[in-house]
């Protein structure tokens, strides 16, 4: 596996899409046997803005709601940041709406789940800012998850160009601060489209900005395309969400969710999710190459036949049931030879590591590293931790403390390369450790907040070293 096919420990399978907000890739976490989505953002050149981006990514990663696509990891490089998110089978709402209209029951499921996702963001002080149908994922269970929180804005921050025209609020259009009411406006646009089949402020040539700023949306139809009547509370709810002045909108999600739940409770009960039944024909087809093998561990590693031996066969603890007795002497001799070869191959030997000069970026230049020896002291600690895990390591490095050992007389070429990187910002130090052998890679990193005591550095770096050498690339 080439290094270009990996982001940290994650193997990348293919590109999903490339857009203004970054490139999105499908990948797999081979440690857990699950697919992931990796979204890559370029980091700003200014250190202050770069730190702000990292804080925003960490804030989104802290969101914990079944209605929000989960972020598993944040991988930071010198110039880019990758957000590792769960993969959601199914389809997005934009794809579904191009194929068919939804029933009232399905519309209420979508609106309720999106409102729950907005509530989860509000609890963390996060504004999504781009709640469009393409960011609403319909799951295989017939529920909805909101994705692409991405580098979402903090409440009260000034809006950027992130918002799409299909869900942009008047305050975003004017460059004013946004809060949860901006996301509720986007929910109103989404509800209007689900009911009426069009954007509330659609003009001849796209968005009618004047109508948007005046809050002049056409009235909702009295019934859906399938003939179902709208609940009496739907039109007033949508009107309140689409108010031009944020002060005239609901101030939080509680009242909105209560109204949606009351409308849903009035619908006939169904055993299956109506949204699932309506969306299932349009779910994306999963490529077999993208699916991790789902063989139970107990079958692949520990299983054996429980059928009784046939006449003339003999088994020991369930093994060898198809062998006759005369086969066992040959097998015993073969096993003895194999054990001899295995013992010779597995006998502890020296392992040589080439260690190029570490990549060190300190912002500020005098970052708070443990001890008084700075970077060199940290590298010495790493060397001791590596030798504690793999006592037979022999280093051939380009800088102290990884200079070649005087005891290594053979000077055989190193079997693998160890690259060490350290990037410290005023808020966080990211230590990266990457082993490469024959084109295969194994990567681990330690995230250490600035100002952490020496014992915390040793704990986090020791854990990263132990995981790095727990298996070979």
Reported residue count of the chain is 473
Are 397 and 378 in contact by the 8 Å Cβ rule? The answer is: no
Q: Residue 86: how many CA atoms within 13 Å on its side-chain side? A: 18
Torsion angles phi and psi, residue 215, rounded to 5: 70, 30
Are 155 and 26 in contact by the 8 Å Cβ rule? The answer is: no
Name the DSSP letter for residue 62. T
Q: How far apart are CA 184 and CA 241, in angstroms?
A: 6
* Location of structure tokens 């930071």: 76
CA distances from 292 to 33, 36, 296, 313 (A): 6, 11, 12, 38
Return the closest-CA partner of residue 259 out of 191, 355, 212. Answer: 191
Q: How far apart are CA 375 and CA 361, in angstroms?
A: 11
Residue 226 burial (10 A CB sphere; 0-12, 13-18, 19+) = exposed
CA distances from 89 to 16, 310, 357, 447 (A): 13, 47, 43, 31
SS3 state at 2: coil
**Element at 454 (helix H, strand E):** helix 454-468
Return the structure tokens found at 468: 């790095």
Name the DSSP letter for residue 142. S
Q: How far apart are CA 204 and CA 238, in angstroms?
A: 23
Residues serving a catalytic function are: 130
Are 433 and 448 in contact by the 8 Å Cβ rule? The answer is: no
Q: How far apart are CA 137 and CA 42, in angstroms?
A: 25
Q: How many CB atoms lie within 10 A of CB 442?
A: 19
């Amino acid at each position: 596996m080439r290094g270009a096919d990996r982001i940290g420990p994650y193997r990348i399978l293919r590109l999903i899409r490339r857009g203004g907000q970054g490139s999105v890739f499908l990948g797999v976490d081979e440690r857990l046997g699950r697919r992931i989505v990796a979204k890559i953002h370029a980091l700003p050149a200014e250190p202050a803005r770069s730190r702000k981006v990292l804080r925003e990514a960490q804030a989104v990663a802290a969101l914990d709601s079944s209605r929000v696509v989960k972020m598993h990891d944040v991988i930071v490089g010198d110039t880019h940041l990758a957000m590792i998110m769960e993969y959601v089978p199914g389809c997005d709402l934009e794809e579904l709406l191009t194929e068919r209209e939804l029933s009232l029951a399905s519309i209420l499921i979508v609106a309720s789940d999106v409102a729950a996702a907005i509530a989860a963001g509000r609890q963390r002080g996060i504004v999504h800012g781009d709640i469009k149908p393409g960011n609403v994922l319909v799951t295989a269970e017939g529920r909805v998850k909101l994705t692409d929180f991405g580098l979402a804005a903090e409440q009260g921050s000034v809006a950027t160009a992130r918002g799409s025209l299909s869900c942009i609020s008047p305050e975003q259009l004017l460059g004013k601060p946004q809060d949860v009411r901006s996301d509720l406006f986007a929910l109103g646009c989404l509800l209007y489209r689900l009911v009426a089949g069009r954007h509330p402020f659609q003009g001849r040539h796209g968005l009618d900005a004047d109508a948007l700023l005046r809050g002049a949306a056409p009235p909702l139809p009295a019934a859906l395309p399938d003939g179902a009547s709208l609940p009496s509370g739907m039109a007033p709810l949508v009107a309140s969400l689409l108010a031009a002045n944020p002060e005239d909108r609901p101030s939080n999600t509680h009242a909105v969710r209560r109204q949606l739940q009351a409308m849903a409770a009035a619908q006939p009960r169904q055993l299956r999710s109506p949204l699932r039944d309506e969306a299932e024909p349009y779910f994306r087809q999963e490529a077999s190459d993208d699916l991790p093998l789902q063989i139970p561990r107990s079958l692949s590693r520990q299983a054996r036949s429980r059928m009784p031996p046939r006449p003339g066969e003999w088994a020991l603890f369930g093994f060898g049931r198809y062998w006759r007795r005369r086969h066992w002497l040959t097998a015993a001799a073969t096993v003895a030879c194999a054990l001899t070869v295995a013992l010779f191959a597995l006998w502890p030997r020296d392992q040589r590591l080439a260690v190029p000069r570490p990549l060190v970026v300190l912002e500020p230049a005098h970052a708070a590293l443990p001890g008084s020896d700075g970077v060199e002291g940290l590298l010495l600690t790493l060397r001791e931790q590596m030798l504690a895990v793999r006592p037979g390591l022999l280093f051939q490095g380009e800088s102290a403390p990884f200079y070649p050992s005087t005891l290594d007389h053979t000077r055989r070429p190193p079997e693998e390369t160890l690259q060490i990187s350290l990037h410290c910002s005023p808020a966080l130090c990211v230590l990266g450790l990457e082993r490469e052998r024959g084109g295969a890679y194994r990567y681990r990193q330690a995230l250490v907040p600035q100002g952490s005591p020496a014992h915390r550095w040793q704990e986090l770096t020791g854990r990263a070293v132990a995981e790095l050498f727990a298996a070979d690339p």
